[in-house]
Structures are given as C-alpha cells and as structure tokens.
C-alpha cells in the first residue's frame, strides 16, 4: 500500500512538472538599439507580423480594418494576446480570425508579441526595423 501511495504521489508530482513550463511562460524580452535594430527573435516577430497581421492591423501595428495593436498591447495582457491570436475575436465592427490551425503563426506568436510590445512601449516607432548584427 505504501508503494502504491508513493507511486501515485510521484506520478502526480511529475504531471504537475509537465504543466509548469506552460504556466511559467511569459513574454520574451525584446532589444531595440539605434531606434530600429531588433534582436533576432523580435525581428522574426516583425517578419511574421508583416506576413500575417499587417493586412488588417497596418504596416507597423497602427491599425487599419483591425485595431491599433501598438496601443492595444498596453491594455491587454500577454495571456489575452496569446488567446486572441489562437481563438480569434469578434469586435464591434468585425472579427479577427482564429490562427490556431496556422502552425507558422502559432509557433511565432511569442515573437510577434515581442515586436508589438516594442511598438507599444515606444522602443521602436513606425519605421522599418532591421535585424541586429
């Protein structure tokens, strides 16, 4: 009986460890130098943003058919951003599609967030970014 209880305790502890990375995940830090040079991951986020998001949210996140994401990221949490990208959202005027079936977007949404957070924080303006060397 003691072995069974010990085995169950270990199994529960290991299953809790398996979910820790997801719970501990958070926004990646970004680095901007000289007003437009981005670290590698943030630059990847910019490139993904331009390919998948800019048609609705504007070239630099300033808003078009979709809202101004450079301003929105100061109002919503990282978790809400991640959920909205995955599941989509219906707004007052239109709707944002769910991107959960697009592996490129889903795998790069942390980087997209970093780019948009740099815009929201004013670390980079409405300028074409470059990748740091």
CA distances from 51 to 5, 38, 69, 125 (A): 53, 17, 15, 19
Q: Is residue 114 part of a domain?
A: yes
Say which residue the tokens 């970014």 belong to.
129
Residue 12 has pLDDT above 80, yes or no: no
Q: Is residue 16 part of a domain?
A: no
Q: Give the CATH number, domain containing residue 114.
A: 1.10.760.10
> What is the number of structural domains in the chain?
1
Residue 19 has pLDDT above 70, yes or no: no
Is 65 or 15 the better-scoring residue by pLDDT?
65
Q: What is the value of pTM for the model shown?
A: 0.79
Q: Which domain holds residue 97?
A: 32-131
Query: 78-126: per-residue pLDDT in tens?
Result: 999 999 999 999 987 789 999 999 999 999 999 999 999 999 999 999 9
CA distances from 107 to 5, 18, 25, 83, 129 (A): 39, 19, 14, 13, 21
Report the distance separating Cα 42 and Cα 113, nearest Å. 8
The confidence score (pLDDT) of residue 15 equals 41
Q: Is residue 77 part of a domain?
A: yes
Q: Is residue 101 part of a domain?
A: yes
Q: Are 52 and 44 in contact (CB under 8 A)?
A: no
Q: Is residue 22 part of a domain?
A: no
């Amino acid at each position: 009986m003691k072995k069974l209880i010990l085995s169950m305790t270990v199994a529960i502890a290991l299953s809790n460890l398996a979910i820790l990375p997801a719970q501990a995940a958070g926004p990646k830090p970004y680095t901007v130098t000289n007003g437009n040079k981005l670290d590698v991951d943030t630059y990847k986020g910019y490139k993904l943003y331009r390919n998948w998001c800019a048609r609705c949210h504007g070239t630099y996140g300033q808003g078009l058919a979709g809202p101004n994401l450079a301003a929105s990221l100061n109002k919503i949490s990282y978790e809400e951003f991640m959920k909205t990208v995955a599941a989509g959202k219906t707004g007052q005027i239109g709707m944002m599609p769910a991107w959960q079936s697009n592996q490129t977007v889903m795998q790069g949404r942390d980087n997209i967030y970093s780019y948009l957070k740099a815009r929201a924080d004013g670390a980079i303006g409405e300028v074409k970014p470059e990748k740091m060397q």
